[in-house]
Amino acid sequence: MTKYLLQLLIAKHPTIFMDNSESLEDAEKIKMEFGKVCLDYDAEIKAANDSNNWEELKYKLPSG
């Protein structure tokens, strides 16, 4: 999952992220801080759709 996240980050920000171990560590940090695993996907989607409390998460990229 971390490698896939890195691929997405490279595609979106090719000047910031590269295919190296430092960028992989950055992707790991982002995954650990913002990633979420749920046991019941349908229940989570329903709860998110029923809630008006959308929280926007912000992460500062390594380049600033």
Number of domains within the chain = 1
Tokens describing residue 34: 């913002």
* 11 in any annotated domain: yes
Burial class (CB in 10 A: 0-12, 13-18, 19+), 10: middle
Alpha-carbon distances, residue 33 vs 27, 28, 50, 51 (angstroms):
10, 9, 24, 22
* 61 in any annotated domain: no
* 57 in any annotated domain: no
Tokens describing residue 6: 């890195």
- What does the pLDDT read at residue 47? 85
* 12 in any annotated domain: yes
What's the rounded mean pLDDT across residues 9-13?
Answer: 92
* 59 in any annotated domain: no
* 58 in any annotated domain: no
* 37 in any annotated domain: yes
* 46 in any annotated domain: yes
Per-residue pLDDT of 12-57, as tens digits, reads: 999 889 999 999 999 999 999 888 888 999 998 888 888 776 666 6
Report the length, in residues, of the chain: 64
Q: The pTM is what?
A: 0.63
- What does the pLDDT read at residue 2? 92
